[in-house]
């Protein structure tokens, strides 16, 4: 049986939660540039030095908030996935992709913090095999535990399950450009289940298209052509279904 937290620990935990809730509110209203420890302290009626006892720097607070947000979007995607039977891999993959988009467009500031331009001094997830890079694709580094890896594992697990149960066409080793193949091969070593390099190439292609259209919608880069992006998103989902040989399983999202 876990030992109950002391009153001091409970108060500290409550204060940490309040700090992060306040930080998120400021993020939504003013963006990352407006998110400073001084602004948070002012909003909470605390002194800045008092806030430093909980978070020594703005960067550490942002990293903690990023971990929370990865857990939040993972919760949303896993709930959507688990609402369907285990063997409905195609349905789960489509549902998870829609859940990711729904969360992104309803949490634009939070999405920008996770997947937007890097913030100086804030560690996200390095691209596998390139420690000096920070990139959304790094979230698919599934060998380690953590909120960022949990997010990537939702997609990676479904793609792996789909390939193992209903293999889709992949490029052979000789068809993959050598520089690309060497990188894919290094990344493959981080997967819990060995996969051909061609699977990871298809996986990345799918992620690039999904992330691409979602980020363009979130950042308003499709407004020149579309006022309602969902039909285009679904067109992309149908194209990806063709690529993964699950086109017969594609169903449009429930109306309403």
Q: What is the CATH number of the domain that holds 138?
A: 1.10.357.10
| Residue range(s) defining the domain that contains residue 36 | 8-56
Q: What is the pTM for the complete model shown? A: 0.86
**Residue 146 shares a structural domain with residue 218:** yes
* Domain assignment present for 256: no
**Residue 174 shares a structural domain with residue 114:** yes
**Residue 210 shares a structural domain with residue 88:** yes
Binned at pLDDT 50, 70 and 90, residue 50 comes out as confident
* Domain assignment present for 254: no
Region of poorest pLDDT, from 50-59, 112-121, 209-218:
112-121
DSSP class per residue in 192-240? SS---HHHHHHHHHHHHHHHHHHHHHHTTTTTTT-S--HHHHHHHHHHH
Which class for 225: exposed (0-12), middle (13-18), buried (19 or more C-beta within 10 A)?
Answer: exposed
**Residue 230 shares a structural domain with residue 137:** yes
Averaged pLDDT of the chain: 86
Average pLDDT over residues 125-131: 35
**Residue 141 shares a structural domain with residue 236:** yes
* Domain assignment present for 134: yes
* 147-174 pLDDT per residue, tens: 888 898 899 999 999 999 999 999 999 9
Region of poorest pLDDT, from 44-48, 71-75, 133-137, 197-201:
133-137
Distance set, CA 143 to CA 112, 164, 247 (Å): 25, 19, 30
Task: Report whether pLDDT(141) > 50.
Answer: no
Distance set, CA 160 to CA 46, 79, 168 (Å): 49, 19, 11
Q: What pLDDT, on the 0 to 100 scale, is given for residue 122?
A: 63
**Residue 46 shares a structural domain with residue 76:** no
Q: What pLDDT, on the 0 to 100 scale, is given for residue 132?
A: 34
Binned at pLDDT 50, 70 and 90, residue 124 comes out as low
Structural domains of the chain, count:
2
* Domain assignment present for 80: yes
Region of poorest pLDDT, from 41-45, 87-91, 93-97, 104-108:
41-45
**Residue 99 shares a structural domain with residue 137:** yes
**Residue 19 shares a structural domain with residue 139:** no
* Domain assignment present for 212: yes
* 15-44 pLDDT per residue, tens: 999 999 999 999 999 888 888 889 999 999
**Residue 149 shares a structural domain with residue 189:** yes
* Domain assignment present for 186: yes
Distance set, CA 223 to CA 117, 190, 206, 219 (Å): 20, 38, 23, 9
Q: What pLDDT, on the 0 to 100 scale, is given for residue 199?
A: 94
**Residue 44 shares a structural domain with residue 89:** no
Binned at pLDDT 50, 70 and 90, residue 4 comes out as confident
Region of poorest pLDDT, from 9-13, 23-27, 68-72, 218-222:
9-13
């Amino acid at each position: 049986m876990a030992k109950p937290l002391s009153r001091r620990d409970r108060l500290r935990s409550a204060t940490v939660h309040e700090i992060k809730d306040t930080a998120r509110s400021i993020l939504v209203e003013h963006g990352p540039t407006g998110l400073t420890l001084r602004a948070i302290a002012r909003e909470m009626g605390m002194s800045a030095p008092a806030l430093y006892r909980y978070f020594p720097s703005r960067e550490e607070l942002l990293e903690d908030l990023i971990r929370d947000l990865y857990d939040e979007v993972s919760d949303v995607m896993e709930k959507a996935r688990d609402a369907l039977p285990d063997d409905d891999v195609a349905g789960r993959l489509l549902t998870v992709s829609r859940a990711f988009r729904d969360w992104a467009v309803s949490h634009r500031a939070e999405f920008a913090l996770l997947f937007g331009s890097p913030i100086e001094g804030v560690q996200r997830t390095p691209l596998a095999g390139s420690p000096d890079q920070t990139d959304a694709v790094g979230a698919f580094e599934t060998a380690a535990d953590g909120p960022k890896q949990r997010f990537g594992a939702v997609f990676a697990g479904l793609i792996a399950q789909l390939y193992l149960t209903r293999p889709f066409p992949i490029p052979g080793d000789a068809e993959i450009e050598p520089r690309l193949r060497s990188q894919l091969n290094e990344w493959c070593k981080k997967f819990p289940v060995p996969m051909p390099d061609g699977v990871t190439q298809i996986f990345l292609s799918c992620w690039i298209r999904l992330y691409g259209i979602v980020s363009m919608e979130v950042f308003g880069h499709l407004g020149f052509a579309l006022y309602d992006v969902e039909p285009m998103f679904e067109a992309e989902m149908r194209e990806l279904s063709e690529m993964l040989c699950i086109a017969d399983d594609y169903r449009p999202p429930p109306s309403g």
